Amino acid sequence: PMTRVIHEQRGTIDKYMGDAIMAFWGAPIDDRDHAKHALDAGMQMLQRLDEVNAQFVSRGWPEIQIGIGINTGMMSVGNMGSEFRIAYTVLGDAVNLGSRLEGLTKGYNVPLIVSESTKDAVPEYAYRELDRVRVKGKDKPVVIYQPLCLVEDLDKEWKAELKLYREALRLYRGQEWDMAEMNLLNLQRTSRSPGLYKVYVERVAQYRASAP
For residue range 195-204, list pLDDT tens digits in order: 999 999 999 9
CB atoms within 10 A of CB 74: 9
Alpha helical stretches, state H, the chain: 2-8, 34-58, 93-108, 116-121, 156-173, 177-190, 195-209
Q: How confident is the model at residue 86 (pLDDT cuts 50, 70, 90)?
A: very high
- What length is written for the chain? 212
The pLDDT value recorded for residue 32 is 95
Q: How confident is the model at residue 49 (pLDDT cuts 50, 70, 90)?
A: very high
Q: Is the dihedral of CA 11, 12, 13, 15 positive or negative?
A: negative
Quote the mean pLDDT of the chain.
95
Q: How confident is the model at residue 107 (pLDDT cuts 50, 70, 90)?
A: very high
pLDDT digits over 124-166, tens only? 999 999 999 987 777 789 999 999 999 999 999 999 999 999 9
Cα-only R_g, the chain? 19
The pLDDT value recorded for residue 140 is 85
| pLDDT average, residue stretch 70-95 | 95
Share of the chain above pLDDT 70, in %: 100
The pLDDT value recorded for residue 89 is 96
The pLDDT value recorded for residue 166 is 97
82 class by beta-carbon count within 10 Å (0-12 exposed, 13-18 middle, 19+ buried): exposed
The pLDDT value recorded for residue 211 is 85
Q: How confident is the model at residue 23 (pLDDT cuts 50, 70, 90)?
A: very high
Three-state SS at 133: strand
The pLDDT value recorded for residue 139 is 79
Q: Is the pLDDT of residue 42 over 90?
A: yes
